[in-house]
Amino acid sequence: MESYAESYYEELERAKLYKLFSSLFMERPTDEILIQIKDIFGIKFDDTLYEIGMDFMYFFSEPSGHLLPYESLYNYPFGEISRLWGKATEEVQKFYKSAGLMIDEEIDLIPDHLSVELLFMSYLIEQGLIEYQKGFLEKHLFVWVPAYCDEVQKLAKTTFYKEVAVLLREFILIDCEEFGIKKGQ
């Protein structure tokens, strides 16, 4: 049987992984982050920091990004068009507020940006808000992140971002599995 200390440690590690993934879509990775990724996941890539930075700028950087990481661009009601500040943005904001979190106005990202959503999950884990974790995974991350990661994996020019997409997709799906979240619920 797992002890409380082991369980607590695992949850802290899980929160750290959410933060690490968040950083990869928030700003260009640094050498330090690349080393962390290699050490933690054991992935191999020969891309230079410059090439990875160019991939980041091409896909995730506004306003010209080709795969902007906003839930509202991938999760929107049938009959509506995808757009920034869509329905998903409103729903995410409500979720943050209901969990007692207000997004700092100094954060220059729309609330449904992938990085913000991943940081929110780390917050929920650190606060021990298990039902909120399950709800946020089920209503938000599970709904769009796996498909988004599939697109990143297909279109990324660097092995680094192809691998990151696979890892994030699997991480989200494993987390959902742990909570008993399945497609079609």
Q: What is the pLDDT of residues 110-119, one digit of tens each?
A: 899 999 999 9
Residue 28 lies inside a defined structural domain of this protein? yes
pLDDT value at 20 more than 90: yes
pLDDT value at 147 more than 60: yes
Residue 24 lies inside a defined structural domain of this protein? yes
Structural domains in the chain (count):
1
Q: Which residue has the tokens 């599939």?
A: 150
Of residues 109, 65, 49, the one with CA closest to residue 85:
109
Domain of 115: which CATH number? 1.10.3480.10
Say how far apart CA 21 and CA 168 lie, in whole Å.
7
Residue 70 lies inside a defined structural domain of this protein? no
Residue 104 lies inside a defined structural domain of this protein? yes
Say how far apart CA 25 and CA 44 lie, in whole Å.
19
Q: How far is CA 80 from CA 101, 144, 155, 165, 185, in A?
A: 28, 16, 25, 27, 22
Query: Which of the four pLDDT bands, split at 50, 70 and 90, describes residue 109?
Result: confident
Q: What is the pLDDT of residues 162-185, one digit of tens each?
A: 999 999 999 999 999 999 998 754
Q: What is the pLDDT of residue 184?
A: 56
Q: What is the pLDDT of residues 44-100, one digit of tens each?
A: 999 999 999 999 999 998 777 889 999 999 887 676 777 787 888 999 999 999 998
> What amino acid occupies position 23?
S
Q: Mean of the pLDDT values across residues 138-142?
A: 96
What is the DSSP code (8-state) at residue 14?
Answer: H
What is the DSSP code (8-state) at residue 113?
Answer: B
* Whether pTM exceeds 0.95: no
Residue 79 lies inside a defined structural domain of this protein? no
What is the DSSP code (8-state) at residue 28?
Answer: P
Query: Where in the sequence is the domain holding 134, given as residue range(s)?
Result: 4-61+90-178
Residues 94-122: b if buried by 16+ CB within 10 A, e if exposed: ebbeebebebeeeeebbbbbbbbbbbbbb
Cα-Cα end-to-end distance for the chain: 30
Q: What is the pLDDT of residue 101?
A: 81
Q: Mean of the pLDDT values across residues 124-146?
A: 96
Cβ neighbours of 142 (radius 10 Å): 19
